Amino acid sequence: MTELPAWWRDAVIYQVYIRSFADGDGDGVGDIAGLRSRLSYLDDLGVDAIWINPWYRSPMVDAGYDVADYRDIDPLFGTLAEAEELLREAHQHGIRVIVDLVPNHCSDAHPWFRAALAAGPGSAERERFWFRPGRGEHGELPPTDWMSRFGGPAWTRVTEPDGTPGEWYLHLFAPQQPDFNWDNPEVRAEFEDILRFWLDRGVDGFRIDVAHGLAKDATLPDLGYVDDVFGRPSRSNHPHWDRDEVHEVYRAWRTVTDAYDGHRAFVAEAWVAGPEQLVRYLHPGRLHTAFNFDFLACPWRADDLRKVIDTTLDWHATVGAPPTWVLSNHDVVRHVTRYGREATGHEDARRQYGVPVDLELGTRRARAAALLMLALPGGAYVYQGEELGLPEVEDIPEHLLQDPTWERTGHTVRGRDGCRVPLPWSGQQPPFGFGADTAAPWLPQPEEWRTRTVEAQRGDRASMLEFYRAALRIRRELPALGEGDLAWDDDVPDGVLSFTREPGFRCVVNLSARPVPLPEQRVVLLSSATTQDNTLPPDAAAWLLS
């Protein structure tokens, strides 16, 4: 049998946030039926694969990242049979499918956790999680000072079967998301089996949720300070982030996927200190790829971007893994909004929630950023709606907010709902073809989105949608794009990024405040803004060919 090329090395992967993509059954929440009905849209857009956020049985405390059954689909989204159909149909369209695996924690409704509560202290059932007695005279204080990423302590005290206040269990996220104990062989065996369950159904890969969190220091030391709840590991040898032992898990998983044909691939969600730490997940025999959050987090500044690109490429080269490039996802402020403010980094976006945004500027930069991202060596991610130029929705009424962060922070951090608003497909008013006209989408869509629907943009050459389509088509056609090398062109003004990829391709991004001349004797293949007299305006990018 001839080996197929490893598709994941340069794939463009579209993130389907399923509850907000398309609603097929008319209950206001996106689902598998909706996704199936829109596969031709994705085909036409020109993506190679989709990553689907969790669709498993779940009480939906954290939008499905609290999994009660890893081998079944939640009725909100459909059935296992529909998932199998989706896989078949996507493959017919030439679209690969990556599912989201959540190994750090499950739901408190998972049978193992229920069994652990029932079995009581010292039981084998509790050994699959992190149960510990509390500190203080009566065990009334949490076992460590660790904080939950959604705010508040990372421990919750249980009531024992006999009705007395009992042990505490660890949850790095919401209390309804108990952390698994990955030192326990049963946990390891269970997840290898879950991998096989989905591989047998034809999935092409897995996105690993919180891949840097699985291993804990079993001595459970105090941290000694309050971690920034949204931040990256604040030090090396952190008791629960990015520990060395986590790599044993991935070595074992790799032997599972390697036994299957057709290049099944992993992508790690690992918020680690930097590229040096990230590529440790990508050593030969470990995972295939990881999200490049340094690129996402980088402010819109030429020097910073160049530095991130260089360190990314250099570190990935040391392990032979392709980099990935990503601008947005379901956890961060949409980049049209990030780039439309004065301070443009990911960290800035969190601090500036609700500060007025220049959406015209943000959109211009987002177009330029897309050309930059899609011209870089390796793979790229497109978060649903970025191809429509959707901004963050920052005025969702408080009583409609769903992200557990809002409650857990005592109504101080609004959370991530603003990037999760259901997609506008067509029509003049909500729900914009997302689902049935009779059902309000689970989060309200802004009226202004009438100009951003798929229908409104399709066929309009100036639209974001047609721009993404053109970029993805050219990327597929040009041998210079995808994996490979780049060479910086250094004879460019300050604030301009320009690089060449052979054969004959050049990408120029103008982050300066002045128009810059484009090199002559080159054809402009695609530009993010109108180029006049062969000059590229500020906050624009162009793809050129010689």
Catalytically active residues are: 209, 269
**Residue nearest ligand GLC by beta-carbon distance:** 65
Q: What is the maximum span of the chain, computed from C-alpha positions, in angstroms?
A: 82
Q: How far is the CB of 207 from ligand GLC (least distance, A)?
A: 9
The alpha carbon of residue 324 and the mean position of all alpha carbons in its chain are separated, in whole angstroms, by 12
Inter-residue contact 106 to 113 (CB < 8 Å): yes
Judged by CB, which is closer to ligand GLC: 330, or 522?
Answer: 330
Judged by CB, which is closer to ligand GLC: 326, or 526?
Answer: 326
Judged by CB, which is closer to ligand GLC: 330, or 458?
Answer: 330
Q: In what order do the strands lie in the sheet with 324-326?
A: 289-290, 265-268, 205-208, 96-101, 49-52, 12-16, 379-383, 324-326
Nearest to 329 by CA among 370, 362, 293, 279: 293
Inter-residue contact 41 to 385 (CB < 8 Å): no
Inter-residue contact 384 to 17 (CB < 8 Å): yes
Judged by CB, which is closer to ligand GLC: 15, or 528?
Answer: 15
For every residue of 246-312, DSSP letters joined together read: HHHHHHHHHHHHHTSSS--EEEE----SSHHHHGGGGSTTS-SEE--HHHHH--S-HHHHHHHHHHH
**By rule CB under 6 A, what string of x and - marks binding of each residue 93-132 to ligand GLC?**
---------x------------------------------
Q: Return the structure tokens found at 42.
A: 């994705």
Contact flag: residue 407 with ligand GLC (CB under 6 A): no
Inter-residue contact 285 to 223 (CB < 8 Å): no
- The 3-state DSSP class for residue 223 equals coil
Contacts to ligand GLC from residues 330-369, by CB under 6 A:
330-331
Q: How far is the CB of 210 from ligand GLC (least distance, A)?
A: 5
Judged by CB, which is closer to ligand GLC: 412, or 438?
Answer: 412
Nearest to 353 by CA among 412, 404, 302: 412
Contacts to ligand GLC from residues 54-73, by CB under 6 A:
62, 65
Interatomic CA distance for residues 427 and 479, integer angstroms: 39
Interatomic CA distance for residues 54 and 106, integer angstroms: 12
Judged by CB, which is closer to ligand GLC: 82, or 242?
Answer: 242
379: enclosing H helix or E strand: strand 379-383
Q: How far is the CB of 313 from ligand GLC (least distance, A)?
A: 25
Nearest to 531 by CA among 520, 541, 546, 545: 541
Judged by CB, which is closer to ligand GLC: 36, or 334?
Answer: 334
Contacts to ligand GLC from residues 198-237, by CB under 6 A:
209-210
Pairing of strands 49-52, 12-16: parallel
Given CA atoms 299, 301, 307, 313 in this order, what sign does their dihedral have? positive
**By rule CB under 6 A, what string of x and - marks binding of each residue 231-270 to ligand GLC?**
--------------------------------------x-
For every residue of 452-486, DSSP letters joined together read: GSHHHHTT-TTSHHHHHHHHHHHHHH-TTSSSS--
Inter-residue contact 109 to 59 (CB < 8 Å): yes
Judged by CB, which is closer to ligand GLC: 382, or 536?
Answer: 382
Contact flag: residue 173 with ligand GLC (CB under 6 A): yes
List residues binding ligand GLC (CB under 6 A). Answer: 62, 65, 102, 173, 209-210, 269, 330-331
